[in-house]
Structure 1
Amino acid sequence: MTLVSDKLNESFAAKKLWTKSESKLWTLNFFMGTCVLYASRVALPLCATHMAQEYGWSKTDSGTVMSCFFWGYAVTQVFAGNFADRVGGEKILVPSTFVWAALTLVTPQLFDLAYRTGFPVVILILVRVLTGVGQGFHLPCMASIVARHLTAADKGRVFGICLAGSHFGTVVAGGIGSLLIEAFGWRTLFQFVGCLSLFWWYWFKSLRDASGSRNRTDNSSRKAESGGLTDSLLPLPDSLKKAHHGSNDVNAVPWGKLFSHPAFWAASVAQYCGANAYFTMFSWLPSYFSDNFPDAKGVVYNVVPSLAIVVTALIAPFIASRLMASGRSITFTRRFMESSSLISMALCLLCVSGSSGFYLSLVIFTAAMAARGLHHGGVSVNPHDFAPHHTGSVFGIFNAFSAITGFIGVYIAGWILQSSSNNWAYVFTFTAAQCILGAVVYAFLGTGNKII
């Protein structure tokens, strides 16, 4: 049996389970990676008002520039997860991270260059689309790596914590970025975030290389202990071959079975509706506060709502674990966490439509962002539930639904504002209605059971 285990470890080294210390280190690394990913992503929304003044953008122009990032991001999601399962997410993240990190660093120079040409819009869109393509690999690769290296009991909790780094990134960018923008101008925020992103790229690459070296050393040691027998002399028993390939062969992802299951589409609808609310707030809140409360401090409204979601996003996986430990089913837990998130966000957005004061608006949006954090115990980890052996592939397709909202929802919000003379109530009411729809659909059809 030991020799069979060696055979599996040698042939499928990337699927070796992490030790507790390795799990903590990789969780921290991915948390920080998702942090800088979102810090890079939020940089343009934070700077949008200043950039609009400098470049003469309308609300529709701002919506287009912010949303075109998601054109590349959404398209990449379709194949990124499957590619990660086939090749290994560790291999893909090194070049893809370098692309978006480098583009973030030089975005100000590229935008300035665009306006020295006769076709600035084309260059602006190209820069943002390429940044979206680079970032599109991160989450599917992370999902694939976590699925390969952790047991079923740990996947959801660890992945939820890693995803929470996204909200910490908005806090970092919102807090430090607001101060940088006020003191040195909007260009410094891109340079700051770009440097942080390149630092994480180097850390991840070093960790990956060190981990690969340890795996090769361990495999060599096991061969030596077994008397130097090679894998070619130790064929796997047919029963183990069948079991192994049945669970890990990404060439056999049963897409038809997945796409014909109503629970997958229920999760996709909830993912779309929740992401639409989040990306609308994510992209437009800086402009909302700047338009309605021009004397308010950006460091306050760019940080407080995002700080709330950091707390709930970190707590949500543990709440879900406690619910399941108390005897609640995975399906009940996912439905409860996601529906609570969507309904709470809808109520907050409907309330803010009629609010007028700065502090009341700030409190309501903070509550809305906090509610979004519960999502990390719900739909966000669903691919680990219903596709435990094809997580990267399924997560990429699944996450494309949330990415679509980035260019549809964000653009529509800009169009509504342009058409209604900046009537923000229309934007928030339309967004709240979609949250209610997602909550109802998922509450009736969502599942935490295995589908494929």
Structure 2
Amino acid sequence: MAQEYGWNKSDSGTVMSCFFWGYAITQVIAGSIADTHGGEKILAFTTLIWTTLTFFTPQLFDFAYWSGFPLPILLLVRIATGIGQGFHLPAMASMVSRHLTAADKGRVFGISLAGSHFGSVVAGAIGSVLLEWFGWRSLFQFVGIISFIWYLFFKRLKEETTLRRRNAVTDSSCTLPLINGKKKEPENLFTDHKNSTTAVPWGQLFRHPAFWAASCAQYCGANAYFTMFSWLPSYFSDNFPNAKGVVYNVVPSLAIVVTSLMAPFLASRLLANGKSVTFTRRFMEGSSLVAMSFCLIIVSMSSGSFYMSLFIFTMAMAGRGFHHGGVSVNPHDFAPNHTGSVFGIFNAFSAMTGFIGVYVAGWILQATGNNWAYVFLFASFQCVFGAIIYSLFGTGNKII
């Protein structure tokens, strides 16, 4: 895209980062809206928005340059896509919280989050082939098509589930006893409409040190992850120009899929063995942050072969996957009745690294003449800081 439209690195960074402007801002309100109106309704509608924008991004970008006002339209398209996708994870968190038992919430939500990493594997593998054979436009259209198929499946599943619930409530009302000549109202067996939660006591949440400890760990871990996710292609291209992009675009992301699926079950095993929720969350998150920090330090001090660098970064990304048994599911612990709202705030800390941490990494490279060691050491030190803070103040107990 940069070659076709004549962007420099500053232009490319602006277009890439503005997605996170809309994404991060939306997180603050997305969870509250999902908790109030139902995550199923929000998820279906907003998915259709970002799916449509993704599919037509090539045409919208061409229109932007045809109009003579390219920058405002480019930014608007990417910000709108970020806004639409910003509702996705908070809506999922709200749905999981309302429809599952306390024992299942963390495990199911952790598995669901692994799907986002699997998407990176698909985009890295199939996308690399599409880019080589058909150009960058085909990648947007491919993602738009498979996302629309998912939207149709989810919409049909939602309609069938709603119908089954209504039939179940109708059947149960037929067997209810008469009270004073009137049939007793059926209990709300299924939550399908507005959530019955009260206003979120934000003051109580924000005054609790565990919330800020978890937010700190969330930011530090996400900074390392997004730094690797965004800059590894450039790192391998600069240092190993003959390496196959399909390899380093897929292997690290595949590792995080595996550990993301493992993490919820490891956390459940710790809990089943008598460990407290607080110990489990601290252990899983600490393991994730320390593993990433160690790998980033090693790679910054070595000048090994391509396969050694690939192995180290794969281990670093694998370490990130254990996060899904730690801070990632903390909102279910903190606020079982306000999970979507709290998760939205949490995820905003992650999203901020998309336009802060990634930009800082680029600034370091520019200032140091492409010295990658400083980038990875900076991310590593943040991971250590996050691990210390969360180990001291993190909790798995209910706050609100």
TM-score interval for Structure 1 and Structure 2 normalised by the shorter chain: over 0.9
Q: How much identity, in percent, do the aligned residues show?
A: 70
Distance 1:217 1:300, change over 3 A: same
**Separation in 2, partners of 1:110, 1:296:** 33
Counterpart selection for 1:416 from 337, 358, 364: 364
| Alpha-carbon distance in 1 for matches of 2:379, 2:209 | 24
Equivalent runs, 1:296-311 vs 2, <5 Å: 296-311=243-258
- 2:213 pairs with 1:266: yes
Asked if 1:183 corresponds to 2:133, the answer is yes
> Which whole-Å deviations, capped at 9, do the CAs of 1:171-215 have from their partners, x for residues lacking one?
011011111111111211111111000000111100001111111
SS at match of 1:450: coil
Give the conservation status (yes or no) of the 8 Å contact 2:288–2:321. Answer: yes
Deviation at 1:134, TM superposition (A): 0.5
Find the counterpart in structure 2 of residue 344 from structure 1.
Answer: 291
Tell me which amino acid in the other structure corresponds to 2:341: S
User: Could you tell me how far 1:354 is from its partner in structure 2?
Assistant: 3.2
Q: How far apart, in 1, do the equivalents of 2:178 and 2:292 lie?
A: 61
Cα deviation code 1:231-278 (max 9, x no counterpart): x96479xxx99xx9xxx6433321111110000000000001111111
Q: CA contact under 8 A between 1:335 and 1:378: conserved in structure 2? A: yes
Aligned to 2:119: 169
3-state SS of the aligned residue for 1:294? coil
Rounded to whole Å, the distance in 1 between the matches of 2:33 and 2:89 is 12
| 2:326 pairs with 1:374 | no
CA contact (8 A) 2:177 2:184 kept: no
- Work out the CA distance in 1 between the residues paired with 2:137 and 2:240: 23
The one-letter code of the counterpart of 1:279 is F
Would you say 1:113 and 2:60 are equivalent positions? no
Q: Which residue of 2 aligns with 1:85?
A: 35
Match of 2:348 in 1: 400
Q: Distance in 2 between matches of 1:258 and 1:320?
A: 24
Residues 66-95 of structure 1: CA distance to partner in whole angstroms, max 9, x if unpaired? Answer: 211111011111011111111001111111
Q: Determine whether 1:436 maps to 2:394.
A: no
Match of 2:142 in 1: 192
8 Å Cα contact 2:173/2:185 also seen in 1: no
Q: Which amino acid in 2 is paired with 1:155?
A: K
1:333 partner amino acid: T
- Structure 1 residues 442 and 450: CA distance shift in structure 2, 3 A: same
Bigger shift: residues 356-365 or 90-99: 356-365
Question: Matched residues in 1 for 2:333 and 2:28: separation?
Answer: 19
Q: CA offsets, 1:360-409, max 9 Å, x none?
A: 21111101100000001100000011111111111111111111111111
Classify 1:115/1:294 alpha carbon distance in 2 versus 1 (closer, same or farther; 3 Å): farther
User: For structure 2, which runs of at least 5 residues remain unmatched after alignment?
Assistant: none
* Equivalent position of 1:281 in the other structure: 228
Describe the shift of the 1:117–1:416 C-alpha distance in structure 2 as closer, same or farther (beyond 3 A).
Answer: farther
How far apart are the structure 2 equivalents of 1:52 and 1:168?
Answer: 26
Return the alpha-carbon distance in structure 1 between the equivalents of residues 241 and 66 of structure 2: 31
Q: What is the aligned partner in structure 1 of residue 176 from structure 2? A: 226
Q: Provide, for residues 324-349 of structure 1, a one-character-per-residue CA deviation record: whole Å limited to 9, x for no partner.
A: 11111111111011011111111111
> Which region of structure 1 is more displaced relative to structure 2, 170-179 or 275-284?
275-284
CA distance in 1, matches of 2:358, 2:127: 22
What are the superposed Cα offsets for residues 157-180 of structure 1, whole Å, 9 maximum, x if unpaired? 000000111111110110111111
For residues 20-66 of structure 1, give each alpha carbon's deviation from its aligned partner in whole angstroms, at most 9, with x where no partner exists: xxxxxxxxxxxxxxxxxxxxxxxxxxxxxxx2233333333322222
Cα distance in structure 2, aligned partners of 1:184 and 1:228? 68
Other structure's SS at 1:411 match: helix
* Whole-angstrom distance in 2 between the partners of 1:266 and 1:59: 35
CA distance in 2, matches of 1:294, 1:203: 41
Letter in 2 for 1:254: P
Residue 276 of structure 1 contacts residue 402 of structure 1 at CA under 8 Å; is this kept in 2? yes
- Whole-angstrom CA distance in 2 between matches of 1:354 and 1:63: 27
Letter in 2 for 1:100: W
Task: Please report how far the alpha carbon of residue 228 of structure 1 lies from its aligned counterpart in structure 2 after TM superposition.
Answer: 8.4
Cα deviation, residue 294, structure 1: 2.1
Cα distance in structure 1, aligned partners of 2:179 and 2:163: 21
Indicate if the aligned counterparts of 1:223 and 1:229 stay in contact, CA closer than 8 A: no
Q: 1:255 is matched with which residue?
A: 202
What is the identity, as a one-letter code, of the residue corresponding to 1:131? T
**Distance 1:425-1:58 versus aligned 2 partners, 3 A rule:** farther
Alpha carbons 2:217, 2:389 under 8 Å: kept: yes
Who is 2:108 aligned against? 158
Count the aligned residue pairs.
Answer: 393
Q: Does the Cα contact within 8 Å between 1:60 and 1:418 map onto a contact in 2?
A: no
Separation in structure 1 between the aligned mates of residue 8 and residue 293 of structure 2, nearest angstrom: 28
CA contact (8 A) 1:71 1:132 kept: yes
Q: 1:448 is paired with a residue of what secondary structure? A: coil
After superposition, give the CA deviation of every residue in 1:275-312 in whole Å (9 maximum; x if it has no partner).
11111111221222223222211110000000100110
